[in-house]
């Protein structure tokens, strides 16, 4: 999250009344400020920095406050509400469990747990034979790290080496931070895991990557192995990759991923994908890795896995998922009956209500529109990335290529003042990720607002 501070001084913004948006107060709403200030006083500041909107209600692709304002949501609360806010299937499923009532079971079994995992396994590719449920995404990536190392130990590796990527991000707990890049963010740990290695990310705008994506992988892996005297046969257990690099929705070239997976197979390593942002229909397929035509051994999911309550999932083969002993991989809140009911209803909504197809269909329209937008603002927009209902617009200075982070902060803030919530990344990107149930008319309306806002912020200058 960004260090940028959105203004907390109410601005007399023009009123907006359209089919999908309604802004009828100054923003931030003056009456909301005492609530925000109280929260800032009593809650860790690490939680703060978001746009100053207090959510009261959210439905479909709209977010409402308690003062009559309504925003069109292009964020899905950062890739969570894939099935739409307050999805009726999820609410009904939760009501059924609440009415029993059955709020918690710890590790005791429940019908909800069986029903969800059964449905999940039936609707995911055959290599995923077993699931492990958790609450947070960071727990899922930590779990993958453990599974890859347990597998390496079992197959006689002498070290627990894991290949990761520069610029990728996997969560905030210790192992997840070790696998993430951002050296500043993990400085608190005080040491680096000597068996976690980072390879350069194949940004598609690098000429070297464009010329020979597979060659880029081979060159860099060789450099790493030589520099650190690593024998992949004995020292490497796995590879962890974000399906696309989060801040910029940057996918890897297909040939690069194929070379990486072949390397992993040749040396008995497991391949884990962090599908936190990419999973559950976001990119127009059930899982984002499916764009690469590979078969990962381990999938780490969260966010859109429930569109609501805290649910993270690790999926893998029986052989891999049964590596930890009985009782050695569990968590108090995992497989909670409410969460499981939400998880099943969410997946049903995605599959039965055609939301994955919607993501693909509207995603094509979104990307066509964004390509036109990039051409119009070609001096400031260096590229548009993403697939399905996921996009990132990347802004760089026309003079020196400098990342235009402040411009993006301003665009996010100004969009909010006009009734549109986009994903604020704190970097030189604006991300777009509406709930997958968004109507075409609403998508067009949001894009019109975004385009006008980009134009206004560029004209104002000062970035």
Site residues, ligand PLP (CB under 6 A): 136-138, 141, 169-171, 242, 246, 274, 276-277, 302
Taking the complex as a whole, how short is the minimal distance between the CB of residue 272 and ligand PLP, in angstroms? 11
Select the residue whose beta carbon is closest to ligand PLP and give its number: 137
326, 132 Cβ separation under 8 angstroms: no
- Per-residue burial over 289-317, b if 16 or more Cβ lie within 10 Å, else e, is bbbbebebbbbbbbbbbbbbbbbbbbbbe
Cα angle 239, 241, 245 (rounded to 5 degrees) comes to: 160
Distance CA 428, CA 185 (A): 18
Taking the complex as a whole, how short is the minimal distance between the CB of residue 309 and ligand PLP, in angstroms? 12
Whichever of 25 and 308 has its CB closer to ligand PLP, that residue is 308
Taking the complex as a whole, how short is the minimal distance between the CB of residue 317 and ligand PLP, in angstroms? 22
Whichever of 277 and 346 has its CB closer to ligand PLP, that residue is 277
Tell me which residue has tokens 């309306």: 445
Whichever of 171 and 343 has its CB closer to ligand PLP, that residue is 171
Distance CA 364, CA 410 (A): 27
Taking the complex as a whole, how short is the minimal distance between the CB of residue 205 and ligand PLP, in angstroms? 21
Taking the complex as a whole, how short is the minimal distance between the CB of residue 216 and ligand PLP, in angstroms? 22
Whichever of 230 and 432 has its CB closer to ligand PLP, that residue is 432
Taking the complex as a whole, how short is the minimal distance between the CB of residue 158 and ligand PLP, in angstroms? 29
Whichever of 145 and 454 has its CB closer to ligand PLP, that residue is 145
Taking the complex as a whole, how short is the minimal distance between the CB of residue 300 and ligand PLP, in angstroms? 7
Distance CA 65, CA 58 (A): 9
Whichever of 76 and 141 has its CB closer to ligand PLP, that residue is 141
Strands 161-165 and 236-242: what pairing? parallel
Which of 335, 306, 341 has the alpha carbon at shortest distance from 96? 341
Whichever of 166 and 208 has its CB closer to ligand PLP, that residue is 166
Whichever of 270 and 311 has its CB closer to ligand PLP, that residue is 311
- CB contact set of 389 (below 8 Å; sequence gap of 6+): 282, 283, 284, 358, 359, 362, 363, 366, 432, 433, 434, 436, 438
CB-side neighbour CA atoms (13 Å) of 274: 28
Whichever of 28 and 175 has its CB closer to ligand PLP, that residue is 175
Taking the complex as a whole, how short is the minimal distance between the CB of residue 306 and ligand PLP, in angstroms? 11
Taking the complex as a whole, how short is the minimal distance between the CB of residue 334 and ligand PLP, in angstroms? 13
């Amino acid at each position: 999250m960004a260090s940028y501070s959105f203004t907390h001084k109410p601005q007399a913004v023009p009123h907006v009344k359209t089919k999908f948006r309604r802004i009828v107060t100054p923003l931030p709403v003056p009456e909301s400020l005492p609530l925000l200030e109280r929260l800032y006083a009593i809650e860790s500041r690490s939680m703060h920095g978001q746009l100053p909107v207090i959510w009261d209600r959210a439905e479909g692709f709209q977010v409402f406050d308690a003062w009559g304002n309504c925003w069109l949501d292009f964020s899905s609360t950062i890739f969570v509400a894939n099935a739409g806010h307050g999805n009726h299937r999820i609410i009904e499923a939760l009501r059924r469990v609440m009415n029993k009532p059955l709020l918690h079971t710890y590790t005791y079994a429940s019908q909800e747990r069986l029903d969800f995992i059964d449905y999940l396994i039936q609707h995911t590719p055959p290599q995923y034979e077993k699931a492990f449920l958790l609450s947070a995404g960071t727990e899922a990536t930590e779990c993958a790290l453990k599974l890859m190392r347990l597998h390496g130990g079992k197959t006689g590796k002498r070290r627990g080496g894991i290949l990761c990527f520069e610029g990728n991000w996997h969560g905030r707990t210790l192992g997840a931070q070790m696998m993430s890049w951002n050296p500043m963010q993990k400085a608190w740990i005080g040491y680096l895991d000597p068996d976690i290695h980072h390879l350069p990310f194949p940004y598609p705008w690098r000429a070297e990557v464009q010329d020979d994506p597979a060659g880029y992988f081979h060159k860099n892996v060789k450099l790493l192995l030589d520099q650190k005297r690593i024998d992949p046969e004995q020292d490497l257990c796995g590879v962890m990759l974000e399906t696309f690099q989060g801040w910029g929705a940057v996918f890897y070239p297909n040939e690069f991923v194929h070379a990486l997976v072949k390397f992993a197979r040749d040396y008995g390593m497991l391949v884990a994908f962090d599908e936190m942002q990419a999973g559950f229909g976001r990119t127009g397929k059930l899982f984002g890795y499916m764009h690469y035509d590979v078969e990962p051994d381990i999938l780490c999911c969260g966010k859109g896995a429930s569109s609501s309550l805290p649910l993270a999932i690790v999926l893998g083969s029986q052989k891999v998922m049964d590596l930890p002993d009985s009782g050695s991989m569990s968590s108090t809140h995992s497989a909670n009956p409410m969460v499981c009911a939400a998880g099943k209803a969410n997946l049903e909504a995605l599959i039965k209500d055609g939301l994955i197809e919607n993501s693909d269909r509207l995603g094509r329209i979104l990307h066509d529109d964004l390509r036109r937008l990039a051409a119009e603002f070609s001096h400031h927009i260096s590229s548009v990335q993403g697939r399905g209902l996921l996009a990132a617009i990347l802004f760089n200075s026309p003079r020196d290529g400098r990342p235009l982070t402040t411009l993006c902060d301003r665009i996010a803030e100004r969009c909010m003042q006009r009734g549109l919530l986009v994903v604020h990344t704190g970097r030189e990107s604006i991300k777009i990720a509406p709930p997958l149930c968004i109507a075409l008319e609403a998508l067009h309306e949001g894009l019109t607002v975004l385009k006008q806002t980009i134009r206004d912020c560029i004209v104002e200058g000062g970035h």
